Structure 1
Amino acid sequence: MTNSKSALDGIRVIDMSRVFAGPIGAQILGDLGADVIKVERPKVGDDGRGYGLAWVPGKDGLDTRQSSFFTASNRNKRSITVNHSKPEGQAIIRELVKTADVLIENYKVGDLKRFGLDYESLKDINPRLIYCSVTGFGQTGPMAARAGYDGLFQAIGGMMAVTGIPDGQPGAGPLKAGPSLVDFITGHNAALAVLGALMHRERTGEGQFIDIALLDSSVAMVSHIMQDYLIGGVAPPRFGNGGNGGGPADVISCSDGIMYLSAGGDEHWRRLTVLMEQPELYEDERFNSNMKRAKLNRAELMDIINEWSRAFTTAQLQAMFDDAGIPAARYNDLAEVWDEPQVQHRKLRAATPHPWAESGSVDLIASPLAHMSRTPATIRTAPPLIGEHTQEVLSAIGYDDAAIAELRAKDVI
């Protein structure tokens, strides 16, 4: 681990976003070293605090209001509470903006303009400000006013059209991915856009407005499958667990579980036929092209492979595939993920001190950016309690104790 400064050391981010996409974007910037100040509603906080199926237990019965949903997207942040619908709250935001490099928000289009907290208003206070607005459908257009959540965009953007059991099989139909993938990718896109804007500002001194839409991310996520459609004009079918690039690529059965096999390239397919002691399959007219293996005769090929694979355990097959240089991996349930030696080696389960948690710490998921050689992403603080840093932050921008007490009395903070 290097002792160099973090990549975004000295950058201040005002995070006025809620739920998941915006908070993920701000969290990435925090992981890279930015000082992220999360602005929440007094008493209520981020809506995401109430989402999810598990909560961090607090010391001495304290309600941390930290759901799994919130905990996954709000580390490395300081929380303040501000009612921005009140003039005094708007004044606080403006004072913060004077000190900020970036502001991220995900209110409905035009909502913050009512309070003088839109980009056009705030850039007069700070022309270097990078203002990132995350919405469902973008800033303009016939659907811009609509609100939207992850599942809607998996449906409208094409993700569900290519996910699910193929037609003609039991349970056929489109299927939503389990995690909030559109939110997650949109958060990453927001962070990427902010980093690009920071580079531009470094060269020119100019801030800018960033319009990030979940719709855009949802369509882009369909990626090479959507490109198949754009090139060929025919929508590829749903393949269930099958790969969409080459074949064979699918779940295979073992004597004690299942694995995922990805032998889509010609050379990997040749090696598999040798491993199966059925080298004649390589020249077989049914399987001698990627199109035949991946689409036309896919089911027939997988039946042949499964008949062979059921004679071995997952451990035996993994060793055989590794020796032959064929990509494959064991299927893990969530508990088994953390038993994987490589997951442990990469330190993907990050035990983080948490001063308010009953156990004194909380296990977080490490950043995928943690292995940069000079400026790795780090987890420095656990997600904050609602308004945990209000006094600290307001004091730093000029509010004395009496002024802060008055703001509390008026329910501004």
Structure 2
Amino acid sequence: MTTTEPALRHRKLVTEIPGPASRELQARRAGVVAAGVSSVLPVYVASAEGGLLTDVDGNTLIDFGSGIAVTNVGHNVPAVVDRVREQVGKFTHTCFMIAPYEGYIEVCEALAELTPGDHEKRSVLFNSGAEAVENAVKIARVATGRQAVVVFDHAYHGRTNLTMALTAKSVPYKHGFGPFAPEVYRVPGSYPFRDGLSGAEAAAVAIDRIEKQIGGDQVAAVVIEPIQGEGGFIEPAPGFLPALSAWCTANGVVFVADEVQTGFCRTGEWFASSHEDVVPDLIATAKGIAGGLPLAAVTGRAELVDAVPAGGLGGTYGGNPVACAAALGSIETMRTQNLAESARRIHDIVVPRLRALAERTGVIGDVRGRGAMLAAEFVKPGTNEPDAALTSRVAKACHAAGVVVLTCGTYGNIVRLLPPLSLSDELLDEGLSVLEHAVLTEVSL
């Protein structure tokens, strides 16, 4: 397995978590940072390399979060760092809408090559996943002349006004922030662990709801995550996505794949849509595209994207030259190190261990995901009832032992694993051992 882990680096705890220097920074933060900005654990990072984070107290933690699927290539990767340094030395900003530059074009060329489908494509670059999703909706509405947008239960699409409307979960993402953008309609998705439906059956339910309550000829876009992220790493049953895509094509609806969290080799393919040979009309990307720098994109059929007149798309920082340089270095790393294959190898190591842990403890109702986008859904023994309290305790125990894991899910009962795709087998094994020990300890209490 190709790895960027430096020699002789490993998890190391020299203080409690968080240590005194992190606690001091946390106290300073309380006086100046908005309370509405939360952090998973109050450990302040001083440096990072490969799949390791070193905090201001000298503790080194294994990173199973990747900044929420951002540092797919790992931290401090030479191809990214070198390209960024070179670009910073030339210029940091002109605004592509004022005086353009080659890096923006190069990123769009790479996206045209890498995203699913061999049709003619166009891309536009932004800063965040929410921006990308919002602009995909704008494009779909202009191209179709329709207004309605269909989204799904458990969806997460962002924190702007429109993307909050697209997002399903209220607390903490939506509560108190309304009113939200209109003409957004929510239908059931596919959640095999909880609905027990095949992909075809779940798609039939969703399509029936759309046709009866909205009307296919009124829908501009269906927006969906090929694997839902914040909603619980929910992988739809086979056949669900192809059936939706086929319905969209038959009804002149734009099929938008939100691959913000699933994209760039995370699931074992460059994009998760490819697992079932689904070719989105528009694909929204961000997170893993640029090795940690803010960049996002909408890529899609040329006739759709070009339906928006000049000046209708863009933004001051969209496609910033430094972020574009980072993206080109990140894509180069994914190619040369074959990180899609690395993601599949991570899957083959992690899933059997999580399933064995589920069998041993009886508190994990489902183990799911693709590649290095994996989840364990915690339930009360003998039931499907979510156990958010146990989930929280397990995550905190991992943090205290020096492994960064994240939780998610509509019910708050999912531990999700998003390690860098370049993570060494040794660090992966060590991190999984910490997780296993945390579960066994918390279950025995």
TM-score by length of 2: 0.24
Whose relative contact order is higher, 1 or 2, with alpha carbons under 8 Å and at least 6 apart? Answer: 2
TM-score, length basis structure 1: 0.26
